[in-house]
Structure 1
Amino acid sequence: MDRQLISRLAHRDHPIAAPLSDGSVRRLLDRALRGGAARRVLDLGCGEAAWLLRALAAYPELTAVGVDLDARALTLAREGAERLGVARRIGLHHGDAAAWRTKEPFDAVLCVGSSHAFGGLSGTLEAVRPLLAEGGVAVVGEGYWEREPDALSLEIFGDALTDLRTTVERVEADGWTPVFAHTSSPAELDHYEWSWTGSLADWALDHPEDPDAPEALRVAKEHRDEWLGGYRRSFGFVTLVLRAS
């Protein structure tokens, strides 16, 4: 089953494709966009552009650009923009976010939960820096270990994650200063995982005739077992609002 299709189905009831509530997203956008003072925002790995659509609805002077490899997700993003009446203020581009270049820098650049596309957190920040206008803000979401992970968790996530303090120290060592952050609560993390696995399973049960249904059920169960049997006890997620030092 296509990985992009799995992601779209798993996130259909949680369009913010990260463990964040709507209230947390609003607060992060307000800080990043400085209460509407920002004029241009870019989302690298935007998916269905849930962050950008919320930003455009809240700030009528804002324009936005989103980049993603999933063409179907971008189609859904365009449809969402049309429904909200903000289609003229958003540009959506099909392509590799890691290769994105711009002639006109942005006041804010978002990359939440997509750092794998850049080889990790440091690679993400390196890619974001030349895209930002002077004094601009980066919003980057990244996993970390809330407590010592077990063997299964390390097998799932590899050795790239560390604890929150070390994560922030690495960001600072890369030349960035945190000006705000949100650490996802256990409730936000649980809601995200239950939604991810449940939405995928729900789709499979609603479409038993679809040849992808058995695979969707298998993936949902495997993901749920890995979460409940492994990283639920140790995984955390932080969304950092950063300025270049």
Structure 2
Amino acid sequence: MDLPRIFTVRESSHRIHNPFTPGKLATLGQALHLAPGTRMLDLASGSGEMLCTWARDHGVTGTGVDISTVFTEGARARATELGVADRVTFVHDDASGYVADEPVDLAACIGATWIGDGVAGTAELLGRSLRPGGLMLIGEPYWRREVPDEETAQACHAGSKDDFLPLPELIEQFGELGYDVVEMVLADQDSWDRYQAAQWLNLRRWLDTHPDDELAAEVRTELTTGPADYARYTREYLGWGIFALMAR
């Protein structure tokens, strides 16, 4: 049970595995007015940056769950580095179907709604761990502008144009699921650049030191085509944000 190696190669220098900068993550934590002792569950927690920095800055406690052994080990190391290892725990497990032993104040899934087969299923899964009146965080892509064809959608890593919604329709979807949107912080093109462009250097440095690895051909193809595809498609068409929700 693990992520394919290409994911950890591509994002080997990343602490945040989505198009958020540390500043945007801090802005979200401040906007939520997190009280010390807030109990948090983070499904598909990656390298644990959200949970670790919010434990340091706001006194939250909680658990992160991720399928990647590499990211989970990194999250534990980050907790130790920030002096919060006594407040946060990271579990190597499949986040799909994971429910907290006791209700939490804040349940999150940031950029990984495939664990619930989409937004609706992920909201249902998170809701099973959330206390009444608690906060839910969902990170999700949306279309910044009309997508002209399926080729463009697929170049943005969508299966089809229907995989994502424009921002207003995404917010309406949360309402149709029975939630009020009470906060949101959105990525911008600069933060997308930092997320995507940093991957190219990771790929090149890995390729230079692993030229005979079985993954080398795949990395070379991605490094050759990825930057132009990103500039042509993802940067122009795909938005991304984290949305704070409360059940009605």
TM norm structure 1 = 0.90
Name the structure 1 match of 2:58: 59
| Contact 1:47/1:73 (8 A) holds in 2 | yes
* Paired residues for 1:1-245 under 5 Å: 3-32=3-32, 34-60=33-59, 62-151=60-149, 152-155=151-154, 156-157=157-158, 158=160, 159-245=162-248
What whole-Å deviation, never above 9, does each CA across 1:138-176 have from its counterpart, x for those lacking one? 111111111111332222312211110000000111011
Please report the RMSD computed on the Cα atoms of aligned residues, expressed in angstroms.
Answer: 1.9
Partners of 1:181 and 1:46 in 2: CA distance: 19
Which segment drifts farther, 218-227 or 45-54?
Answer: 218-227
**Deviation at residue 37 of structure 1 after TM alignment:** 4.1
Partners of 1:76 and 1:13 in 2: CA distance: 11
Partners of 1:90 and 1:207 in 2: CA distance: 35
| Contact 2:95/2:115 (8 A) holds in 1 | yes
| Contact 2:107/2:127 (8 A) holds in 1 | no
User: Helix, strand or coil for the counterpart of 1:230?
Assistant: helix
**Deviation at residue 112 of structure 1 after TM alignment:** 1.0
Structure 1: runs of 5 or more not aligned: none
- Deviation >6 Å, runs of 4+: none
| Contact 1:146/1:164 (8 A) holds in 2 | yes
**Deviation at residue 225 of structure 1 after TM alignment:** 3.8
Partners of 1:214 and 1:41 in 2: CA distance: 40
TM norm structure 2 = 0.89
Partners of 1:211 and 1:98 in 2: CA distance: 30
| Contact 2:182/2:245 (8 A) holds in 1 | yes
Structure 2: runs of 5 or more not aligned: none
User: Would you say how many aligned residue pairs link Structure 1 and Structure 2?
Assistant: 242
What whole-Å deviation, never above 9, does each CA across 1:9-49 have from its counterpart, x for those lacking one? 322333111111111101112233x2334521111001111
Partners of 2:167 and 2:115 in 1: CA distance: 21
User: Helix, strand or coil for the counterpart of 2:30?
Assistant: helix
Partners of 1:228 and 1:172 in 2: CA distance: 33
% of aligned pairs identical? 26
Partners of 1:20 and 1:58 in 2: CA distance: 17
When residues 176 and 37 of structure 1 are mapped into structure 2, their CA distance, relative to the original with a 3 A threshold, is farther
| Contact 1:150/1:230 (8 A) holds in 2 | no
Which structure has the highest helix share of the two? 1
What whole-Å deviation, never above 9, does each CA across 1:168-216 have from its counterpart, x for those lacking one? 0001110111111012111111221111233222322244354433332
User: Helix, strand or coil for the counterpart of 1:17?
Assistant: coil
Which segment drifts farther, 80-89 or 209-218?
Answer: 209-218
